[in-house]
Amino acid sequence: MTDAIPTRRAPLRIAVLISGSGSNLQALIDRVADGFIPARIVLVISNRADAFGLERAQKAGIPTRVILHTPFPDRASFEQAMIDALLAAEVELVCLAGFMRVLTPLFIRTFAGRLLNIHPALLPAFPGLHVQQRAIDAGARFSGATVHFVTEEVDAGPIIAQAVVPILDGDDAPSLAARILKREHLIYPLAVKLYAEGRLRVAGQRVCVVDGESIDPEEYLISPAE
């Protein structure tokens, strides 16, 4: 008789953390629903009670929690409340999707290697805030979006997927943000799919995709001037 090989419970249990509109959450919901991402979204947490993403989650039948940061005396107690909720839901992957609180090492270490973020610029250029305006002001011809593992340095973890969009004459921050967002909705589901399929290997800062189909850069990564 052979020993039972321990298998990970399938499908992967995902939580999404939001603060606002939740259009990236919607992209993940849609791509889970159509089978592209082999996973289940089991919890959505918002640190704002008025985040529209909460409605998106409820419409999809996903449990939601509002954990306001304001009543907590410090970041650690706020993060501990989120950690407790995530562990109680047996979450295996946490996706930040427009979650607008900087996380401390307490949270990041708890979910090391299991915490993804999407950022509306081509990292390592333009980490931080107001990145669309900063890319325009810098005279950049291209910007884009990045999905990366979260590490303790803000917006600096190993990069899983990026998409490039042009910055056009006459762009302002909202028009550029909208162009980038369309690509975010493609590459976040792609990155989560690759994670859920166990196809990501991290070596230092570099993420390699192993096995399965290769990624078509024309489809995902490079946007024509729309």
Find how far residue 106's CA is from the centre of its chain.
19
For 138-170, b/e burial (b = at least 16 CB within 10 A) is eebeebbbbbbbbbeeebbbbbbbbbebbbeee
Cβ closer to ligand GAR: 20 or 166? Answer: 20
Spatial distance between the Cα atoms of 216 and 213, rounded to a whole number of angstroms:
9
Residues making contact with ligand GAR (CB under 6 A): 18, 20-24, 53, 97-98, 118-120, 181, 184
Question: Is 148 labeled as catalytic in the residue annotation?
Answer: no
Which positions ≥6 away from 197 have C-beta within 8 Å?
38, 211, 212
Catalytic choice (69, 119, 130, 148)? 119
Cβ closer to ligand GAR: 16 or 194? Answer: 16
Cβ closer to ligand GAR: 31 or 119? Answer: 119
- DSSP code of 19? S
Whole-number minimum distance, CB 100 to ligand GAR, in Å?
6
Whole-number minimum distance, CB 145 to ligand GAR, in Å?
6
Whole-number minimum distance, CB 72 to ligand GAR, in Å?
20
Which residues are annotated as catalytic?
119
